[in-house]
Each structure stands twice: as structure tokens, then as C-alpha cells.
Amino acid sequence: MRNLDLAPLYRASVGFDRMADAMDRALASDLAQTGYPPYNIEKTGENAYRISIAVAGFAADDLSVEVRDGAVVIAARKADEGEDRTFLHRGIATRAFERKFTLADHVRVDGASHVDGMLHIDLLREIPEALKPRQIEIAKLDGRRIDKLDA
């Protein structure tokens, strides 16, 4: 079991509490979550990502995708089939699940699709103009002294 003490981070920094909370959540959820259902996270572009989750046996109506508290939460509940069925082997799990993925700042869910037993959730990182790199023009002074530069 992992045990990480973040107290020194809180004592020596200001404004990093969100990062520390995210680390706490990641460590706690890592211990609590099983490998079901299997999933992939891929980078599909410079600012685009996709989470793909294997949801064989679930219809689109059995699935929900929700964004709350800075995370995308995927849940599945299989509706009762109401049939008396006898399985000789049941290898396709349709048990209920909830999986949570914490989103970084400026990442939003762009859409979701259910195709061929896979749930795809597309994510897009939108960096605000104020945070994008910008070029600063350097003034050329010709050896004169300038007390004030007018911008």
C-alpha cells in the first residue's frame, strides 16, 4: 500500500492545494479501482485526447458520461433482462461500474460515442489566450537615454 505525506508541500508552498488534492485522489482511486472495465487513453492531436472504454454487453442507454468536480465520470448499469437464462459460461461481464478520470485545467469533454462495444470520450484542451506564449517586442534605443517607454 502506498503512503504519501503531502504535509511538507502544504507548509512550503501557496496555491498548490489543488495539485496536492489531485494527487491524493489519484492515489486513493488507484487503490480502490479494479481493472474493470479495461480502457485506453490516447493523444489524438496536439490538444486532443480520447478515452476508450470496453463496454461489451452494454447498450448506449445503459451508460452515462458526466462531468462533475473537475472529473469525467463514466457509469454503467445494466437494465434487468427479465429473462431466465442459463449460462454454461459467462465471460462477458456486464456488472455495474463507475470510473472517474480527473481532468486537467482547461480540458473539456468534446463528445462521446458508443461504437462496436467501445465507449469513446473525446477531450479537448483549450488554452486561454492569456496563458498562450506571446512574443515581446524589444525596443531599440540608439544609445539615447529614455526615461519612459510608451507602449
Give 19-61 pLDDT, tens digit per residue. 667 667 666 665 555 788 999 999 999 999 999 999 988 999 9
Which range has the worst mean pLDDT, 2-16, 72-86, 124-138?
Answer: 2-16
Predicted confidence band of residue 146 (pLDDT cuts 50, 70, 90): low
23 or 76, greater pLDDT: 76
Using a 10 angstrom Cβ sphere, with 0-12 exposed, 13-18 middle and 19 or more buried, the burial of residue 123 is buried
DSSP E strand stretches across the chain: 39-45, 48-54, 63-68, 71-76, 97-102, 107-115, 118-125
Q: Is the pTM of this model over 0.75?
A: no
Average pLDDT of the residues in 129-140: 88
Average pLDDT of the residues in 78-84: 72
Parse the chain into domains and list their residue ranges.
Answer: 1-32, 37-131
Q: Is the pLDDT of residue 119 over 90?
A: yes
pLDDT at 16: 61
Are the beta carbons of 29 and 100 closer than 8 angstroms?
yes
Q: Which CATH number fits domain 37-131: 3.40.50.11540, 2.60.40.790, 3.40.50.150, 1.10.3720.10?
A: 2.60.40.790
Show Cβ contacts of residue 38 under 8 Å, excluding neighbours closer than 6 positions: 53, 54
Beta bridge partners of 1: none
